[in-house]
């Protein structure tokens, strides 16, 4: 009896032609991260539950894939931030700070599968640990800028805000105690109507007038310089507000020095990030030429990464790209052109299997020159061999027949134009390299 | 109360300078696989147990990380071959055959941790599915040859045998029924003494004389051509033997056409591979300049990949490199020279934080030219900044001071020689590219 071959819902599995595109996106992100000096680490997929849950709890804990072996409970990591905290605490004495690491790994969450939610997905994270310097926050925007220019998905905007500025402003309205809760409400501003948000603010101790002041504040708009000027003009005396404003100004001026085009970043006081974890700069990134993707790259600054594992205070800043979700959204959007299904640049075909030996020799020479080469090894009509190249999207085909076998000349076909030429192997290598 | 940050035994976690080496080995393998036209696929880490265990059982099943969610049992994949079988059967109509895929992923086995055994490890697999052509078996040796030349681990030998040849020889001795069991004994020939192996063969129906004939047979030695000649000279009439001999001859001649140096492969009749799964060519690979690593790359030809999932007959051939184990052996051997801990090619330092803006501008230009660049953003004495570059192994340092700030000239230091020069940014970009 046959078993039906299938995978669980919520897992993304790609055909080769899609996998090639996915891998190239992953590689683009990796290269951009390395260009800014981030160094790779990789942590085990399985960790002790008691270690990873030192911090987590509630909603997160329910979404974990966990299991018991012997007397220990283990789990699959559900993000890369908690493992980073554990890693930095564990290897503290072997690391050099500020520690700039990237990490591109799958994480797992036992969520109910739904459109755009995956149980297994790639996170592409960077963090800089061990410095409070706001210029690092600026550099992070430059990294995001490089990544999304190189991914070539059309226009994008990195929205930037500062949680100190926001909390300070809320505190100056006499709502210091509720500031986290009010930030969570601001985070919903694009999804929920003002009057119900206003009601919720009132239930947190604001008056309707104060709620309106908050809405007016987060709506402050203009160029980045104009927004900074308007914030200064408020003459707000709250110390946290002023620290935040100062950080925001440094970040924006650093981003400018780093040559990030104006159109690619913007102060947006509506970006609050729901998580209490963030304590300074926060980021979200939006694509401008695609439908409702939501933020495709988010993060922010935090005061202390690993307080559950070490007494060392570890401030830092980081971002994450959820590549599996982004890829699936782009795919659903019909964004990807049909790509090759194999990495081969050239297929060597033969008119007769007697020439196979010659084909293998040529293949070996092409490969030694670094050219991805496949030989059609089966005995088939030449037409079928060409069809195979076409189907897989291999751009060039070499044909070895009687003439090519005896002379040192090779028939070389460009599959996209259909044009066919006689060339020497050296000419072909020059062309393909 | 702090939680001790640690990971379970049997998991390999690397420091950045080791991770960089590991990743570069992984990348070398990937590039070699692609050069032969293998295409990437990736399968979920988690699969339905009833699907993955359609084939497995016994010992394997005990080593699985499995868990129940709702009414379904899931498990982490324990190799990449069963997922490949499931993938090919599931996507059969969307794939083009012969299907040449590579897959570099972690797999998990709940083994008792011991030296050289990991519970989480990378497998680097290639398989060609859908053809019985022995020239593919030859090409696989050429792939192994490229991988191990490019990994640059010193000398290596790919040992090649053919299970049909072996089974046919054993059958010709009147032991057809016991041939699998006898092959398993031959597989132990390097670890177990002859007399006890001979006793076991006798218990399987051989006489002592026949056991000696088997030992003599597997000891046949010489150059590859001499071994083939000696095998032919046996005048063995067993049909399976003759098919195997013919395949072996084709494989060896194909390997020669592919330009693999003679010293890098060898027919070895002692290589039997314990698994019944293999039905033709089998491979093991040994490093000649390292201690007892065992085979670092093994595999072989099989008749039918996915009989549990589909009625389509899918013959194929493949190999696997266990990279985590290989890396840990090389590391234990002291093989790796100290490497950089970051991918940065250059660190930009400053005499005074007033020059930071200038540093960011220069960094941006270097990065746009594709040069991995880090800026030292903290306010520290220049000596401390140089120490940082030294510690991380960053090869070049740029210094921005008063003169560099005002003029368009940059101090550029080679950290390996200590030599320091004044250069323009364009000269530096040319040098670093």
Distance, in Å, from the CA atom of B146 to the CA atom of B144, rounded to the nearest integer, reads 5
Following CA atoms B30, B107, A151, B14 in sequence, which dihedral angle do they give, to the nearest 10 degrees?
-80
pLDDT for B339: 85
The model's pLDDT over A135-152, given as tens digits with 9 standing for 90+, comes to: 999 999 999 999 999 999
pLDDT for A60: 61
* A11, A35, A41: residue with CB nearest B46: A11
| Residues of A with Cβ-Cβ distance to B371 under 8 angstroms | 35
* B120, B136, B139: residue with CB nearest A44: B120
* CA distance, residue A385 to nearest chain B CA (Å): 12
| Residues of B with Cβ-Cβ distance to A361 under 8 angstroms | 257-259
Distances from the Cα of A226 to the Cα of A214, A266, A387, B82, angstroms: 19, 11, 60, 60
Decide if A39 and B343 are in contact by the 8 Å CB cutoff. yes
pLDDT for A55: 64
**First and final C-alpha spacing in chain A:** 50
Following CA atoms A399, A402, A404, A407 in sequence, which dihedral angle do they give, to the nearest 10 degrees?
180
What does pLDDT average to over chain A? 94
Of A297, A328, A287, which is closest to residue A114 (Cα–Cα)?
Answer: A328
* CA distance, residue A174 to nearest chain B CA (Å): 34
Of A283, A292, A274, A296, which is closest to residue A188 (Cα–Cα)?
Answer: A274
Residue B275, pLDDT above cutoff 80: no
| Residues of B with Cβ-Cβ distance to A139 under 8 angstroms | 360, 375, 377
The model's pLDDT over A148-167, given as tens digits with 9 standing for 90+, comes to: 999 999 999 999 999 999 99
* A41, A44, A108: residue with CB nearest B11: A44
CB atoms within 10 A of CB B384: 11
Under the banding of pLDDT at 50, 70 and 90, the label for residue B186 is very high
| Residues of A with Cβ-Cβ distance to B72 under 8 angstroms | 8
Cα torsion B199, B205, B211, B215: sign:
negative
ipTM, 2 dp: 0.95
| Residues of B with Cβ-Cβ distance to A136 under 8 angstroms | 377
Tokens of A270: 């509506």
Distance, in Å, from the CA atom of A167 to the CA atom of A189, rounded to the nearest integer, reads 16
Decide: B79 and B107 in contact? Cβ < 8 Å: yes
10 Å CB burial of residue A134 (0-12, 13-18, 19+) is buried
* CA distance, residue B13 to nearest chain A CA (Å): 6
- Probe site for chain B from A360, A361, A370, A396 (most B CB atoms < 10 A): A360
**Distinct helix (H) and strand (E) counts, chain A:** 16, 16
To the nearest whole percent, how much of chain B has pLDDT over 90?
88
Following CA atoms B12, B16, B22, B25 in sequence, which dihedral angle do they give, to the nearest 10 degrees?
170
Decide if B309 and A96 are in contact by the 8 Å CB cutoff. no
Return the residue of A nearest to B87 by Cα: A5
Name every residue whose Cβ is closer than 8 Å to that of residue B398 and which is 6 or more positions away in sequence.
Answer: B346, B347, B348, B349, B362, B410, B411, B412, B413, B428
Decide: A150 and A32 in contact? Cβ < 8 Å: yes
| Residues of A with Cβ-Cβ distance to B3 under 8 angstroms | 50-51, 54, 308-309
Does B186 sit behind a cis peptide bond, omega within 30 degrees of 0 on the bond before it? no
Distance, in Å, from the CA atom of A90 to the CA atom of A339, rounded to the nearest integer, reads 43
What does pLDDT average to over chain B? 94
- Mean pLDDT, rounded, for A314-330: 97
The model's pLDDT over B227-254, given as tens digits with 9 standing for 90+, comes to: 999 999 999 999 999 999 999 999 999 9
pLDDT for B1: 83
The model's pLDDT over A179-203, given as tens digits with 9 standing for 90+, comes to: 999 999 998 998 899 999 999 999 9
Which H/E stretch holds residue B66? strand B66-69
- Mean pLDDT, rounded, for B345-358: 94
């Amino acid at each position: 009896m046959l078993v039906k071959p299938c995978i669980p819902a919520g897992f993304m599995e790609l055909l080769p032609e899609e996998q090639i595109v996915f891998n190239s996106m992953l590689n683009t992100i990796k290269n951009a991260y390395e260009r800014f000096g981030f160094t790779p680490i990789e942590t085990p997929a399985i960790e002790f539950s008691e270690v990873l849950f030192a911090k987590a709890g509630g909603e997160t804990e329910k979404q974990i894939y966990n299991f018991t072996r012997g007397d220990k409970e283990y789990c699959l990591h559900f993000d890369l931030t908690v493992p980073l905290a554990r890693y930095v605490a564990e290897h503290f004495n072997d690391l050099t700070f500020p520690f700039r690491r990237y990490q591109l790994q799958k994480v797992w969450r036992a969520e109910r599968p739904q459109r755009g939610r995956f149980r297994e997905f790639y996170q592409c994270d960077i963090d800089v640990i061990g410095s409070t310097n706001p210029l690092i926050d600026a550099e992070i925007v430059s990294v995001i800028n490089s990544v999304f220019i190189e991914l070539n998905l059309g226009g994008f905007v990195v929205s930037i805000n500062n949680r100190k500025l926001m909390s300070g402003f809320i505190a100056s309205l006499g709502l210091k105690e509720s500031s986290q809760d009010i930030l969570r409400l601001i985070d919903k501003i694009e999804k929920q109507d003002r009057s119900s948000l206003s009601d919720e603010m009132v239930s947190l101790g604001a008056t309707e007038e104060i709620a309106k002041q908050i809405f007016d504040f987060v709506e402050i708009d203009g160029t980045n310089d104009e927004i900074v000027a308007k914030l200064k003009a408020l003459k707000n005396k709250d110390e946290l507000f002023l620290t935040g404003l100062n950080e925001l100004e440094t970040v924006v001026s650093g981003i400018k020095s780093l040559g990030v085009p104006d159109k690619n970043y913007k102060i947006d006081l509506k970006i609050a990030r729901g998580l209490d974890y963030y304590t300074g700069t926060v980021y979200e990134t939006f694509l401008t030429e695609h439908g409702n993707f939501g933020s495709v790259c988010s993060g922010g600054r935090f005061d202390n990464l690993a307080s559950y594992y070490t007494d060392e205070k570890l401030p830092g800043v980081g971002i994450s790209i959820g590549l599996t979700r982004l890829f699936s959204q782009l795919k659903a959007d019909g964004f990807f052109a049909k790509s090759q299904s194999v990495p081969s640049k050239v297929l060597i075909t033969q008119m007769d299997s007697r020439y196979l030996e010659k084909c293998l020799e040529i293949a070996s020479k092409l490969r030694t020159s670094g050219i991805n080469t496949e030989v059609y090894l089966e005995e088939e009509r030449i037409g079928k061999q060409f069809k195979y190249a076409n189907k897989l999207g291999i751009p060039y085909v070499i044909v070895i027949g009687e003439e090519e076998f005896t002379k040192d000349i090779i028939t070389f076909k460009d599959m996209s134009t259909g044009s066919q030429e006689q060339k020497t192997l050296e000419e072909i290598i020059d062309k393909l390299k």
